[in-house]
Structure 1
C-alpha cells in the first residue's frame, strides 16, 4: 500500500507485472486460499518513484 497526497494505492502483481490500483476504485475483494511472496529484493519506495516517473 502506498499513499500519495490523500489517495491510497495497492501495488500488486498481475500476469507477472506490477500494477498500481487506486484503493477507492476497488469495490469488492474476496479472500482466496492462494498465497504469494514478495519478490526479493523489492524496494517499494524505489518502485513507486519509477512508476510515477513512467506515468508522467
Structure 2
C-alpha cells in the first residue's frame, strides 16, 4: 500500500481576498482539470492588483 503525498499548503499573501482564492484552488491531480478554480484565483489577483491598498 502506498500513501499519496499530502497536497502542499497554498501560499499566504496577507491579502484576505487572494488568500481565500488560493485556498479554493485544489493543488492535487492534473492542473488541466482545475481550469475554473485557477481562472477564479487569477481574477481575484487581478482585481486586488487594480485596487489601491492603504
Answer yes or no: same fold by TM over 0.5.
Answer: no
Larger helix proportion of the pair = 2
TM-score by length of 2: 0.30
Structure exhibiting the larger radius of gyration computed from Cα positions: 2
Larger strand proportion of the pair = 1
Greater length-normalized contact order (CA 8 Å, ≥ 6 residues apart): 2
